[in-house]
Amino acid sequence: MTYQFSDDGITKNDALNLVKYLQETKTIFCFNLLIRLSECLIDDEIVHILVNSFEKNKSLTYIDLSHNRIGDIGAKRIGEWLLSKPKGNTLLTLKLNDNVISVQGAIHFSEMIKVSEQLSELHLGLNRLQSEGGVHLLTAIALNKSLVKVDLSTNVCKNIILLLKKYFFAIIVLLLKILRVMACVFGGCTLIEMNGPIVEPLLCVLRGNSHLNELDLSGNVLIDKEAKSTSGYIMSQIKQGLNDKANSLILLDLRFCGFDQTDLSDVKKLLLAKQAKHKQTLRKQLHQIFISNN
């Protein structure tokens, strides 16, 4: 189905029509349902309308609500929906990149993450999570057993960036990401400070993780000038966590986080070795499946 929205984005009537369509056709969906509503100027009010139909659908596996205007209220509604059915929910991928979700929204998502048994991908890059939100999310991720891929990249909020986003919404995501990083670096702000409370949750994710494959923290200033003296110790702990046999991470993006290039190169080498081992394991599994079927 091709659904045409107005140039002003998805309106309340558009959302109600989409809900009506989903309700009328929910009985015929015997396949995985994917919904993409990126760059539709969706706000918290529209999210409430949409979630009413999402929670009644039994085949919804993928939702893309990236590049919209969803804030903490909308995040709370989505979190409550997923929290209400941690086992029965069919959603596998949730994309909320480039919205206006802040600390309170992160708290709501963290409660959902702790009990979720189905969600495998969560994308929250280009929001306003800040240090406190990062602590809550990483603490929850360390307890989760279903997430495979998490994107928390570039959660920097500076006024100049908000103005650019407001008046130049069509700017490509890559350029917006670079501008946000530059605003943080030259403005002297720190989003997630590694010498603060977020250190232990991040290291817990690395030490105890046996399910998560990808974690993107790029574009967050993890090391500021005051923390440079401890960055060596922190990086050694990160490497130790990656070397843990139980650790399943094969992609950890720490670019533009304040680490030395040498340390990043060492991490890249570790990850490349783990990726090669992962591919080898997959080949063996596929070979065993092929033999058993023949």
pLDDT digits (tens, 9 = 90+) for 84-138: 876 667 899 999 999 999 999 999 999 999 999 999 999 999 999 988 899 899 9
Q: Dmax over Cα atoms in the chain, in whole Å? A: 62
Predicted confidence (pLDDT) per residue in 22-68, tens digit: 777 655 555 678 899 999 999 999 999 999 888 877 788 999 999 99
pLDDT of residue 225: 56
* Residue 245 φ then ψ, to 5°: -60, -30
CATH class assigned to 12-293: alpha beta
pLDDT of residue 87: 65
pLDDT of residue 46: 95
Looking at per-residue pLDDT, the higher value among 186 and 137 belongs to 137
Q: Please, which pLDDT band fits residue 161 given cuts at 50, 70 and 90?
A: very low
- Distance, in Å, from the CA atom of 174 to the CA atom of 143, rounded to the nearest integer, reads 31
pLDDT of residue 16: 87
Sign of the alpha-carbon dihedral angle for 139, 142, 145, 147: positive
Q: Please, which pLDDT band fits residue 210 given cuts at 50, 70 and 90?
A: confident
- Distance, in Å, from the CA atom of 75 to the CA atom of 71, rounded to the nearest integer, reads 6
Q: How many CA atoms lie within 13 A of 59 on its CB side?
A: 12
| CB-based contacts of 67, cutoff 8 Å, min separation 6 | 38, 39, 97, 98, 99, 169, 173
Predicted confidence (pLDDT) per residue in 188-197, tens digit: 444 454 445 6
Mean per-residue pLDDT for 263-290? 88
Contact 193, 257 (CB under 8 A): no
| CB-based contacts of 178, cutoff 8 Å, min separation 6 | none
Tokens 């998490």: give the residue.
150
Instruction: Please check the confidence at residue 167 and state whether its pLDDT lies above 80.
Output: no
Q: Determine the residue type at 249.
A: L
pLDDT > 70: what percent of the chain?
Answer: 77
Q: Let me know how many helices (H) and strands (E) the chain has, helices first.
A: 10, 7
